[in-house]
Amino acid sequence: MSEELAAGPKESPPAPPAGPREGWKKGGRLLSVLLAVNVLLFACTLISGGAFNKVAVYDTDVFALLTTMMLLATLWILFYYLLRTVRFPDAVPYRDAHAGPVWLRGGLVLFGICTLVMDVFKTGYYSSFFECQSAIKILHPLTQAVFVIVQTYFLWVSAKDCIHIHLDLTR
Return the HEC string of 18-66. CCHHHHHHHHHHHHHHHHHHHHHHHHHHHHHHHHHCCCCCCHHHHHHHH
Instruction: Identify the band that residue 63 occupies on the pLDDT scale cut at 50, 70 and 90.
Output: confident
Looking at residue 3, its pLDDT comes to: 53
pTM of the predicted structure, to 2 decimals: 0.66
The Cα angle at residue 48 between residues 124 and 130, in degrees rounded to 5: 20
Q: How far is the CA of 45 from the CAs of 50, 57, 140, in angstroms?
A: 9, 10, 20
Q: Cα separation of 163 and 120, whole Å?
A: 35
Strands 94-95 and 161-162: antiparallel
> For 45-60, what is each residue's pLDDT tens digit?
777 776 776 767 778 8
Q: Cα separation of 67 and 46, whole Å?
A: 14
Percentage with pLDDT > 90 across the chain: 15
- Please give the single-letter amino acid code of residue 56: A
Looking at residue 100, its pLDDT comes to: 66
Looking at residue 128, its pLDDT comes to: 85
Q: What is the mean pLDDT of residues 82-100?
A: 66
> For 7-37, what is each residue's pLDDT tens digit?
544 454 454 555 555 545 566 667 777 877 8
- Please give the single-letter amino acid code of residue 77: I
- pLDDT of residue 121 exceeding 90, the answer is yes
Q: 92 or 86, which is more confident?
A: 86
- pLDDT of residue 151 exceeding 80, the answer is yes
Q: Cα separation of 53 and 85, whole Å?
A: 46
